[in-house]
């Protein structure tokens, strides 16, 4: 019984530490820019899919493709897996940030996830491909995280999971997210939820956006060496 007060104090102390670490993050405009970009990306995907839904309801059809892998792969209803492991990958990142106390990177995570969502929201309208022929819809528990399941290029499940994998720096957390990513890719193929080009493009888009972010948007990591870069000042020659 004597250990209970100690445990409570330890829990309260840990929660207090997390809260205090969040205060400077919440006071930074970079956090709100990242948050707004994420919300904008989610809303744009909804608008884009609503547009495609209206397009189909008007009697027009979205073109389907022939796919070398899907055409030779049997259908299995495992759609719950790619939604479930997408959620797990996000939870792993949250645990990573808390465990490694990497709170300063939260604006960067939000911004990059927002950007890839915005890019996908644009591309699913620019290249409005129909779902693969055998696709019967995602599991109703999560429904593919969308109201209307239209627009497949590129894969948001793959792109977001791979982006998280690239942004996390710890090897063990990377391994867990990589496992989630592999399950997502395999289940997407087995459920015929995406064409091969969607899945590969999700990987390429995520890699390109992460490279761009690491090169031009490091300031959103709220690290002093990015916020206040040190210049190489040489003493004047006398």
pLDDT in tens, 131-172: 888 777 776 666 555 666 777 888 999 999 999 999 999 999
* Residue 68 located in a structural domain: no
pTM of the complete model: 0.82
pLDDT for residue 208 is more than 90: yes
* Residue 233 located in a structural domain: no
Distance of CA 213 to the CA centre of its chain: 14
pLDDT at position 23, please?
72
Residue 120: give the domain boundaries: 3-62+75-227
* Residue 132 located in a structural domain: yes
pLDDT at position 6, please?
65
pLDDT at position 181, please?
97
Find which of 92-106, 118-132, 156-170 is predicted with most confidence, using mean pLDDT: 156-170
Average pLDDT, the chain: 83
pLDDT at position 96, please?
93
* Residue 196 located in a structural domain: yes
Percent of the chain with pLDDT over 90: 42
pLDDT at position 231, please?
40
Residue with more model confidence, 229 or 48: 48
* Residue 234 located in a structural domain: no
- CB–CB of 49/143 below 8 Å? no
Residue with more model confidence, 14 or 189: 189
Range 6-35 average pLDDT: 72
pLDDT for residue 215 is more than 70: yes
Domain count, the chain: 1
* Residue 237 located in a structural domain: no
pLDDT at position 1, please?
46
* Residue 40 located in a structural domain: yes
* Residue 236 located in a structural domain: no
pLDDT at position 87, please?
94
């Amino acid at each position: 019984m004597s250990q209970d007060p100690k445990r409570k104090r330890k829990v309260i102390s840990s929660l207090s530490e997390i809260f205090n670490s969040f205060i400077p993050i919440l006071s930074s405009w970079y956090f709100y820019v990242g948050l707004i970009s994420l919300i904008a990306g989610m809303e744009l995907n909804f608008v884009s899919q609503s547009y495609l839904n209206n397009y189909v309801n008007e009697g027009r059809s979205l073109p389907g493709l022939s796919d070398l892998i899907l055409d030779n792969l049997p259908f299995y209803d495992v759609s719950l897996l790619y939604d479930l492991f997408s959620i797990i990958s996000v939870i792993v990142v949250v645990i990573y940030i808390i465990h490694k106390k990497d709170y300063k990177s939260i604006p960067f995570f939000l911004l990059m996830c927002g950007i890839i969502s915005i890019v996908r929201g644009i591309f699913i309208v620019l290249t409005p491909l129909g779902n693969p022929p055998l696709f019967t819809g995602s599991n109703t528990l999560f429904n593919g995280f969308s109201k209307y399941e239209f627009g497949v290029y590129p894969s948001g499940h793959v792109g977001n999971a791979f982006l998280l994998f690239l942004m996390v720096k710890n090897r063990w957390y990377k391994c867990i997210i990589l496992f989630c990513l592999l399950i997502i890719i395999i289940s997407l193929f087995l459920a015929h939820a995406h064409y091969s080009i969607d899945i590969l493009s999700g990987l390429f888009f995520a890699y390109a956006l992460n490279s761009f972010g690491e090169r031009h948007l490091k300031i959103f990591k709220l690290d002093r060496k990015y916020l206040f870069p040190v210049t190489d000042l040489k003493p004047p020659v006398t």
